Chain A
Amino acid sequence: MPAVLEDQRIIEFDVRTDEMLVNMGPQHPSTHGVLRLVLRTDGEIVSETEPHIGYLHRCAEKIGENLTPRQWIPYTDRMDYLAGMNMNLGWSLVVEKLLGRNLPEKARHLRVIIAELNRIASHLVGMGAYGLDLGTFSPFLYAFREREKILDLFEEACGARLTYSYLTPGGATADLPPGWLQKCEAFLGQFEPVINEYHALLTTNAIFIKRTANIGVLTPEMAIDYGCTGPVLRGSGVDFDLRRDGEERYTEMYDGYAFEIIVQVNGHYPKDHDYPAVPREAVVGDCWHRFYVRMLEVMQSIDLVRQAMDRYSVAKGSWGEPIKLTEKLPKGEAYLETEAPRGQMGFYIVSLGNGAIPWRARARSSCFCNLSVTHELCRGCLIADVPAIVGSLDIVMGEIDR
């Protein structure tokens, strides 16, 4: 970015050497899976970045054209494998939209509990792995210690620890087991104070701030132009979150919940007196802000899970009933996006009305768009900043390549 080049200290780098192409990946540890970046470098400065993706491509969409919607649920788990529940939710909602089916209240609260817990787990990995990218190992272990407890909760609810297939069109495959809510509450009570450790390890750490503040600045206009969503969009100061601004079918899940969108407005984040202050070096849209938005979303998700558990425990009626495995689909098409941890995950279903198998199943990946902005962010940065920038986008290759 020009901001880096204007830095007076950069002048000492301004020695013309031969340009060199450097291959980063596809097995580089800081590329989050199998991403290959080809960097054109002039000494230490990166002039061009070209991401090469597709190493994890499994043509999930083609598979979706040959399975019924419920049979495709396990394949959605394997897209963003760090947030399987949110993937299940997106596909379930779009199938329900096509079928014109509404859920009982209890099922909606159940989904909020599960989706927000998975958001916490996903952001924990994002945070820990970001520490790894920047060369510190401890936060990763701290993050996985807590994530493990969320996985235990999920395992108790659905039997799986990573690929859940729990939320499904029509509701969920089972109700939460007895005593689960108490365990969840106990976890939240234990987890909430721990977050201060993360802030001490990373958010307010002087080295971390040096590595992330004012690095990879993404302007709001560019974020919208490239279709960036989720924490990447909100880190740039755009006040947009599908949980509030999405389609009614999705936002009604959060009806009546007290929550504020995590975005900096007039120099302040919501309730920011409770959290570490924004360092002076940080500018909106840089790596630090993208990271910070995720950290605050963890706090907010804890609050949302608590609210959802209160509502769930008093809600009457059923927790939903899954549609039949071979439920006939009406003729038509539907598209819906949900706010997954990494951004807006969209699903598109087209049916000819001649059976239970959709004619077309399409997944719009949030990371795919978030990654496409890399070449703009990395222009003119140092080689060492590339992992910091790519890490701050928090990508999952399984979702990009599908």
Chain B
Amino acid sequence: MAAQVFLDRLQARFKTAITGAHLDAIDPWIEVTPQSLVDVCTYLRDEPDLQFNFLNCISVVDYFEPDPKKAAKVDFQPHLEVVYHLGSIKYKTSIVIKVLLPRWKNDVPGNLPEVPTVSGVWSTANWHEREVFDLSGVRFTGHPDLRRILCPEDWEGHPLRKDYEMPLEYHGIRGR
């Protein structure tokens, strides 16, 4: 299985920076620490026999259940997952890298969690990270131009957070 090979390579190189892996998932993923993300990505891109030179997508999944009744039943702790889908044009392989973050930095609501930018590794990440920042509320440190991209610049909140509430009004337009 190809994913096992990638995991072995990464573990040999980065040791404790690889915090977990799910190889039996439909799309196997490998979890890395935020601090090592850029190094892992650069390694995956530059190794001659890996060449993950194509960043397909960056997504964020918010694991949080706002409804207290349902929250008692869910089997996860509140957190965010930043998901990087990578591919190799040359070898036609793919791999998923995940970074787990707290929902808020230092548990202060409104204080966005931080992860280093990979826009220096793949330029695709530039706009994708802006979109993630805009909609899911993750701050990419070192990003050259971290602004909202889809929502207006003066929009408040991050709509894809599970506890997001639509504003009552925006510039005189009724929201809900």
Q: Chain A interface (Cβ within 8 Å of chain B)?
A: 53-54, 57, 59, 61-62, 97-98, 222, 224-227, 238, 240, 245, 247, 332-335, 337, 344, 346, 348, 350, 352, 354, 359-360, 362, 364, 368-369, 372-373, 401-402
Contacts and interface: CB of A to CB of B under 8 A. Distances in A.
A334 B124 contact: no
Interface in B97-155: 122-124, 126-127, 131, 135, 148-152
B123 A332 contact: no
Nearest to A336: B27
Contacts of B89: 224, 238, 240
A306 to B, nearest CB: 28
B150 A372 contact: no
A335 B59 CA distance: 11
- Name the 8 nearest CB pairs between A and B, nearest first: A227-B124, A364-B57, A54-B150, A372-B127, A57-B150, A362-B59, A225-B123, A360-B61
A159 to B, nearest CB: 32
B149 A54 contact: yes
A53 B55 CA distance: 21
A225 B122 contact: yes
Interface in B8-61: 25-27, 53-57, 59, 61
B56 A62 contact: no
Given A54-B149, A57-B150, A227-B54, 14 more contacts: A54-B150, A54-B151, A59-B160, A224-B54, A225-B124, A226-B124, A227-B124, A333-B61, A334-B27, A348-B59, A359-B61, A360-B61, A373-B123, A401-B150
A398 to B, nearest CB: 13
Contact of A346 (B57, B96, B123, B151): B57
B159 interface: yes
A365 to B, nearest CB: 9
B25 A333 contact: yes
B123 A53 contact: no
A350 B98 CA distance: 14
B122 A62 contact: no
A53 B134 CA distance: 13
9 contacts: A53-B149, A57-B150, A225-B53, A227-B123, A337-B56, A348-B85, A362-B59, A364-B57, A368-B131
Nearest to A238: B89
Main secondary structure of the interface of A (DSSP, over half): mixed
B56 A344 contact: yes
A225 B150 CA distance: 22
Nearest to A58: B150
Interface of B: 25-27, 53-57, 59, 61-62, 73-74, 83, 85, 89, 92, 94, 96, 122-124, 126-127, 131, 135, 148-152, 159-160
A352 B89 CA distance: 31
Nearest to B83: A348
Nearest to B145: A50
- Which of A54, A352, A354, A402 has the most chain B CB within a 10 Å cutoff? A54
Q: Which of A53, A337, A372 has the most CB of B within 10 A?
A: A372
A353 to B, nearest CB: 9
Contact of A61 (B26, B53, B160): B160
A346 B54 contact: no
B26 A97 contact: yes
A76 B96 CA distance: 24
B123 to A, nearest CB: 5
A354 B123 CA distance: 37
B42 to A, nearest CB: 13
B101 to A, nearest CB: 15
Contacts of A245: 92
Which of B55, B85, B123, B151 has the most A CB atoms < 10 Å from its CB? Answer: B123
B63 to A, nearest CB: 8
Contacts of A61: 135, 160
A368 B89 CA distance: 19
A227 B83 CA distance: 16
B57 A335 contact: yes
Nearest to B91: A245
Interface centre among B89, B148, B159 (most CB of A within 10 A): B89
Contacts of B152: 54
